[in-house]
Amino acid sequence: MHSQKHTIVSSPGKVLLAGGYLVLDRSYSGLVVATSSRFYSSVQPLPASSSAASISTPQGIISVRAGQFPSQSSTWIYSISIENDQLIIKQTNQDVVGKNKFIYITLFQTLALAYEKIATTTDKKGVDAGRELLNRITDDGQSAGLDLVVLADNDFYSQREQLSALSLPTKIDSLSSLQPFTPLPRPIPQTNKTGLGSSAALVTSLVASLLSHLDIVSLPSNPTEANSNESLQLVHSLAQFAHCLAQGKVGSGFDVSSAVFGTHIFKRFSPSILTPLMDGSLDSIHLSSPTLLPVLDPSKWDQKTTAFRLPKGLRLILADVDAGTDTPSFVGKVLAWRKNHPEVAQKLWDDLDKANMQLERLLTELVAREKDEDYEETVGWMGERHIEDHKENPTAVLLYEIRLTLFIIRDFQRRMSELSGVAIEPPEQTRLLDACSELEGVIGGGVPGAGGYDALFLLIIDTPSVTSRVDKLWSEWTEMSVCPLLARQSDGGLKVERLSDVKGLAEALGS
Ligand SMILES: Nc1ncnc2c1ncn2[C@@H]1O[C@H](COP(=O)(O)OP(=O)(O)O)[C@@H](O)[C@H]1O
Ligand SMILES: C[C@@](O)(CCOP(=O)(O)OP(=O)(O)O)CC(=O)O
């Protein structure tokens, strides 16, 4: 009898509301909000009769399919075998589908860590621990290996073409009528992303689902334990490592951090932690003494995740903007300018940080007001009004101050744009954000993360009439094409899922 063990783990997308560029430096923090849109990784035994298994006769096969993309060009198959004292992982269909660096590196490093965990926590050592890992991959020889499917909520990729094929306008209601995990016509490199952080959510959910399926970690079922949970911490450090290696650089890691821990105040890890691992071999895993565990051990990591959430009654709403302009990599240019103008930059960084932290303080003060008797009523009432016109009670005053702070943050970001010559909030985005901020019930907004032309966020009062005002303005905007996303804020991070709880997942997996 084949075991029917099925592991599904999801990770949220991200929006860096405040702290772009600053969070690259450990002296500053940022506000990262996780989204309700998620990335799912499903792991099941690969039947011995499957076509992937018939390719060759190695000791194990791991097949990874990107479920919503054309399957001929989006299934990566890897053979796993032990030769002498090495575990060899080889893609068997590279000539047909090419490589997927994020998947290969994540698989490689996750198996390397799984091996090290087995070798250090069980009585199996060296090659025996490698065999134990292979046994876990093939369910003691009962299956050919593992069948992985990764699926992203529709929000991760632009749905403009899918909407237009159905003659639907680029509006929120149209998006909710698309089927979950809508099939996309072209391979991943030719598909437009929306900026929710597909690779970080992919890597994180892959790491967690594989480690959990192979019984290397036991993921918490209660998300409140998240920050102190040793298994999640290990998933975090491994996902950060794999993601950095696949990207070819050590970024701040806020995207992986929110994919694991959800919404929080983020302070990065010291990049030097990863230095000893960044040049390691990606050919084979030596079945000898551990090299990853000493570095990835959570006790060696110094990132800080402080609890934070958006107040009830407020909604984060996002748009994918298509200005026909390529946003080049901004980070190098901004950091070069900072280096060449240390004094002006220091003052600007400190002023912007003050405004970012003020935003965090005000939002947290509003959270504390949630239990006020008139909180809900005031927030709902403000949905029909211009936020700056009302200061009747402490809740209204806080909403007004949050609005002011969002404007101050944008002022500093435009100053950063002017000084560095990088279009962080380009004039087209200024015009759109200003127009949105004029609407009743819109508190304010900004450009998330690195900024540019690609995306924007608004903080609004969460009522259908405010959403529809924004939706209307976006759909009628002519200077740039603005397409809403369905996502809203969500506090939770990595989550173990039950197949029946995720709408459309069983159908998308073909189960
Ligand atoms: N659904 C998916 N299935 C498999 N790989 C994916 C998927 N989505 C994204 N990826 C991987 O992530 C890469 C995109 O990463 P990146 O350019 O950093 O975008 P992002 O900013 O969305 O993380 C793709 O080239 C691919 O390797
Ligand atoms: C500049 C940054 O601080 C923020 C970039 O945030 P984005 O959300 O723009 O990131 P991408 O997903 O890579 O497009 C760089 C960083 O923190 O790594």
* H or E, element range at 496: strand 495-496
Ligand 2 neighbour 147 (Cβ under 6 A): no
Residue whose CA is closest, atom 18 of ligand 1?
199
Question: Residue 6 carries which side chain, given as an amino acid letter?
Answer: H
Task: Among 77, 78, 103, 198, say which to mutate for ligand 1: greatest number of ligand atoms within 8 Å of CB.
Answer: 198
DSSP classification of residue 193: B
**What's the confidence (pLDDT) of residue 54?**
58
Domain range 7-307+492-509, CATH architecture:
2-Layer Sandwich (3.30)
Q: Which of 14, 17, 21 to mutate to test the pocket of ligand 2 (most atoms within 8 A of CB)?
A: 21
- Do 7-307+492-509 and 314-490 share a fold? no
d(CA 56, CA 75): 16
> pLDDT tens across 238-295, in order?
999 999 999 999 999 999 999 999 999 999 999 999 999 999 889 999 999 999 999 9
Query: Where do the domains of the chain lie?
Result: 7-307+492-509, 314-490
For ligand 1, atom 1, name the residue with the nearest CA. Answer: 66
Which residues, including other chains, have CB under 8 Å from residue 445's CB and lie 6 or more apart?
406, 433, 436, 437, 456, 457, 458, 459
Specify the DSSP class assigned to residue 228.
Answer: G
Class of domain 314-490: alpha beta
CA neighbor of 482 nearest in space, from 324, 343, 354, 264: 324
Q: Please name the residue whose Cα sits nearest to atom 6 of ligand 2.
A: 449
Q: Is 455 in the pocket of ligand 1 (CB under 6 A)?
A: no
Share of the chain above pLDDT 70, in %: 95
Question: What pLDDT digit, counting tens, does each position of 229-252 carry?
Answer: 899 999 999 999 999 999 999 999
In whole angstroms, give the CA distance from residue 112 to residue 217: 14
| pLDDT for res 226 | 59
Closest CA to 327 of 415, 447, 170: 447
Rounded to two decimals, the ipTM of the complex is: 0.99
List pLDDT tens digits, range 403-442: 999 999 999 999 999 999 999 999 999 999 999 999 999 9
Which atom of ligand 2 lies closest to the CA of 196? 12
Confidence of residue 48 (pLDDT cuts 50, 70, 90): confident
pLDDT in tens, 122-144: 999 999 999 999 999 999 999 99
